[in-house]
Amino acid sequence: MKAYFSHYTNLIFTFILLFTGDSVFGQVRSVIKLNDGWLFKRGEIPEAEKVNFDAKNWEKVRIPHDYAIFGPFDKEIDKQTVAITQNNEKVATEKTGRTGALPYIGEAWYRNTFEVPDFKKGKRALLLFEGTMSQPKVYLNGRLIGQWNYGYSYFYFDISEELLENKENTLAVQLTNLPQSSRWYPGAGLYRNVSIIVTEDVSFEQWGISITTKQLQEDFAQVHVKSEVVGQPDYIVTEIQDLNGKTVAVDSSSKVFGKFFEQDIKVENPKLWEPDAPNLYIAISKLYKDGKLTDIKHTRFGIRTIAYIAGKGFLLNDKVTKFKGVCLHHDLGPLGAAVNKAALRRQMEILKDMGCNAIRSAHNMPSFEQLELADEMGFLFLAESFDEWAKPKVKNGYAKFFNSDAEKDIVNLVRATRNHPSIVMWSSGNEVPDQWGSEGVKRAKFLQEIFHREDPTRPVTVGMDQVKAVMESGFGVLVDIPGLNYRTHLYEEAYQKFPQGMLLGSETASTVSSRGVYKFPVQIAKNKTYDDLQSSSYDLESTSWSNLPEDDFILQDDKDWVIGEFVWTGFDYLGEPTPYDEKWPSRSSYFGINDLAGLPKDRFYLYRSRWNTTDNTLHILPHWTWPDRVGQTTPVFVYTNFDRAELFVNGKSMGVQQKNNSTPQHRYRLMWMDVKYEPGTVKVVAYHKDGSKAMEKEIHTAGKPHKIVLEADRSTINADKEDLSFVKVSVVDKHGNLCPNANIPLQFEVSGAGNFKAVCNGDPTSLEPFHLPTMRTFNGQLVVLVQSKDKAGIAKLVVKGKGLKSSELSINIK
C-alpha cells in the first residue's frame, strides 16, 4: 500500500503598520496590530456598560496578555474530582493542580479605542483574532459583531459595515472561562495577536492563497499558486523571490475560474526546504483592476515534497526521514499562554541542540509565530486540532461545541497555516473517547475528509491510546497515518492489523523527573511518589500507562515501519502534575525533557546522545555533592553517543562500561551501579571504537555557596517592548562549581532600557509568583526574563542573595 502527499508552503508575510496609517503599498493593504492601548477588567460588567463601556478604572495592559499567569496559585481553583480515564483511573479523586491552580476561571473584558486612517467606506476591513481564551463575544462600537467558542482557534470577522471612517472606534471583547474545561493550564485572555486588515474591495480573500510544489526535478520545480479573490479583478501577477530579494520567476494570468486564479510557475534550480537547510521563498502576488493595483500579498513558502510509503516510511524530498520529535503545550512557563516569539525561539534552539527535528502542537492549533520559526529553523510540524470530539473528557470541554464548530475550526486551521513547509501532517484529535464504537469511526472519517478537502497534500493522524478498540472498530484502518500514544507492547500487533504499512509514535515515553533531584535506591518504577513531591532524575520512573525512553528507542531503531516519535514532552508545562495529581502544592508537569524554566534535565542528554548526530555528547549524573551519603552506593550514569567509557572517582578507575543489548537501558546508557560515594572528583573518559580517547569530562563536589553567575541566552535584543533575554542564574562555590543543593532566595533589579518580566526556577511545587522580582533557586539555578522597552540603550540586571557575592549583567537594547 502506498500513500503519497506532495507539499507546498506559505506563511502570511504581514507588513505591520502603526496607527499613523502609513501604507507600504500605496494604500492598497494595511495590517494594523492592536498590541497597545488595551484596558482590562476581570468579572462581569453591567448590561448598560456593554454598550457605553465605561472603562476609566480598568487596568492598562498590552497584548498578547494572559491575565491568570499572575496568580496567585490556589489549590481551590478548578479543583476537579474526577477519574482520569487516560491514566487508567477507575475511581474519582480530588485533583488540585490539574489546570495549574491559577485563576483562569470566570469572565473578563478587554477594551480598545482606535482610528483606522486608511479605511474609507467601500473598502474591506477584517478583524482577526489569533487566540482568545475563551468563548469570546466581540463588540464594535457597542454592537455585538460575532462570537466564537474554541479558545485555540484563529478567526476573523468582516467589519466593513461597522468600522467608522475618520472616527474613533471602540472594540470590546468579553471572555468566559468555565471550570472543568481543560486537562491542563489553558491560559486566559487575549493571549495571541489581534489585527485589523484593510484592503480595497477587489482583493485577496483572507487566507486565500495556497502554494504547492506540483512537480520537483533536479533542475526545476513546478510551483502551483492558487489565489482566491474577492470582487472581479482583471488579472494577477505573481513574482517569486528568494530571501535575498532576487527574483527567480514571474508569471501573470487573466484566467479566473469562478473566484480563483491558478498559476503553474517554473522555478529553476530550486533550493529545497528541509530541516538541515530550511530554504524559503516569497511569492509576491498582485491583483489589478482597470490597470490599477488593488491588492498585494507576500506569502513565504518552501519548495519540497513529502511522501508516506509503506515499507519505506516518511520521505522528505525523496529521502527517508524519521521524526525525532517532541510534544509541546502552548504555555511558555512563566509567561503563561501569552505568545512571545523570543521565548518560542529559545525553546526551539534548545530542541535543535538536542537533535530534535519535529514538533507536535499538543493538543491544539499552534501559534503563527511558532510555525514561522519552524519554517525558518527547520522543524517538521504535526499540527493538531482537538483534544476532544463529541464525547467529553472534562465537563465543559470542546465536546460542548464539537457538532456545531468542528468543521469551521478545522477550515480556519488549514487555510491559515497550509502554506508552511514545516507542516507535514495534520492531527484531528488526541486520545478521544470516541475511539470506541461506530460513531467514533464516523467522526474520524468526517474530520479526515474535511482536512483532505481543504488540503489534499498532507495526511491525517489521530493520537490513539485505545489500541485494542481501534483495531476492532475500524478506526485505526481509516486513519491515514496510525498514531499510537504509548502502548509499545501493541506496536507489532497493530502493524500486522493495520493496512497502512507504518506506525507513528504520536506520543511516547511520559518519563517523569525533576531537574537535579536523585532518589535512592536507583530502580525502575511506575507511578513512584516521594514526600517532597519530586521525581528522580535517574530517568527510570514513568507513569502507569507509559514507559521509559529506551522502549521507544528500540522500536525506532529496529522497525523500519515505525516512522518516528513525539516525546511527551519537550518542556514541562503548567498543570497535569502526574504522578502528584492528588498532592498539593504540585502545579506543573514532570514530563519535560527540559523544566518549566527551560533548563535541561538529565534526560535532555539521553535524547541528545541519540538524536544529535553532529555534536558529541558526554554527560554525567548525578551531581557529586552528597554530604549525607559518604560510603553509600551512589550509581553513576553516563549519557553519550560513544559506545564505551571509563569512570574514575578521585583518580581510581571504576572500570569500563560498554553499551550492549542485555537490557534496554544498557543499550543506550552507560551505568556503574555499585559506586560508593566519596567527596572529590568524578571523571569519565569516552573511547572511540579503536580504543583511542574520544572525549572526557569531570564533575566536582561543591563547596559552600559563594557567588552568583549570570549567563544570557542573548546579549542583544530588539527595542520593541516584546523581545526577551533569558538569563540563567547559578549559585556556585568559590571555584565556580554549581551548588546543586542551593535553594536560596534571590532578588532581581532591572534598570535602563529594559524591564523585569518574570522569573522561574523549574520547581513544579513552587508557589512563588512568576512576576515578582524575588524567587529562591531550585537546586542551584533559575532563569530571569528581561524584556526590552521601546528605545535603544542598555538594560542592567542585578541579582542579589543573602551571603552571596552579587552579580550584574548588561543587555544591549537596539
SS3 375: helix
Say how far apart CA 665 and CA 321 lie, in whole Å: 25
Query: Can you tell me the distance from the alpha carbon of 107 to that of 595, in angstroms, rounded to the nearest whole number?
Result: 31
Q: Among 396, 399, 343, 403, which Cα is nearest to 367's?
A: 343
* DSSP assignments along 139-188, one per residue: EETTEEEEE---TT--EEEE-TTTSPTTS-EEEEEEEEE-TT--SS----
Q: Are strands 644-649 and 652-658 parallel, antiparallel or unpaired?
A: antiparallel
Q: What number of helices (H) and strands (E) belong to the chain?
A: 11, 54
670 forms beta bridges with 638
Query: How far from 441 is each of 86, 338, 401, 462, CA to CA, in Å?
Result: 19, 36, 19, 12
- Within 8 A by CB and 6+ apart from 258, the residues are none
Residue 299: count other Cβ atoms within 10 Å of its Cβ. 23
Which of 805, 801, 754, 803 shows the shortest CA–CA distance to 782? 801
3-class secondary-structure state, position 12: strand
d(CA 442, CA 475): 9
Q: Is it true that the peptide bond before 499 is cis, omega within 30 degrees of 0?
A: no
Could you tell me which residues come within 8 angstroms of residue 763 by beta carbon, excluding any fewer than 6 positions away? 514, 778
Q: Which SS3 state, helix, strand or coil, does residue 542 take?
A: strand
Q: SS3 for 410?
A: helix
223: number of Cβ within 10 Å = 28
Report residue 604 as a C-alpha cell.
535532555
Rounded Cα gap, residues 259 and 358, in angstroms: 36
Please compute, for residue 288, the number of CA atoms within 13 A of its CA located in the half-sphere on the CB side.
Answer: 12
* Amino acid letter for position 223: V
Active-site residue, selected from the candidate residues 274, 384, 454, 507? 507
Any catalytic annotation for residue 431? yes
C-beta atoms surrounding 347 within 10 Å: 22
Give the C-alpha distances (Å, rounded to integers) separating 683 from 619, 620, 621, 663: 10, 9, 11, 25
Is 507 considered catalytic here? yes
Kindly report the backbone phi and psi dihedral angles of residue 668, in degrees, each rounded to the nearest multiple of 5, phi listed first.
-125, -10
Q: Would you mind telling me the total number of residues written for the chain in this entry?
A: 814
User: Is 352 strand, coil or helix?
Assistant: helix
- 404 burial (CB, 10 Å; 0-12 / 13-18 / 19+) is exposed
To which residue does cell 501493541 refer? 490
Question: Which among 115, 285, 284, 121 has a CA at the least distance from the CA of 203?
Answer: 285
Q: Residue written as cell 536560596?
A: 744
Catalytic, out of 200, 274, 388, 431: 431
DSSP readout, 547-569? --HHHHHHHHHH-TTEEEEEEE-
Give residue 276's identity as a one-letter amino acid code: D
Alpha-carbon distances, residue 146 vs 34, 140, 156, 192 (angstroms): 18, 9, 9, 18
C-alpha cell at 393: 473528557
Query: Rounded to an integer, what is the distance from CA 174 to the centroid of its chain?
Result: 26
Phi-psi region of 111 (alpha: psi -120 to 50; beta: other; left: phi over 0): beta
Give the C-alpha separation, 30 to 812, whole Å.
Answer: 31
Tell me which H or E stretch contains 354.
Answer: helix 341-354
Query: In angstroms, rounded to a whole number, what is the distance separating the alpha carbons of residues 201 and 51?
Result: 29
Catalytically active residues are 431, 507
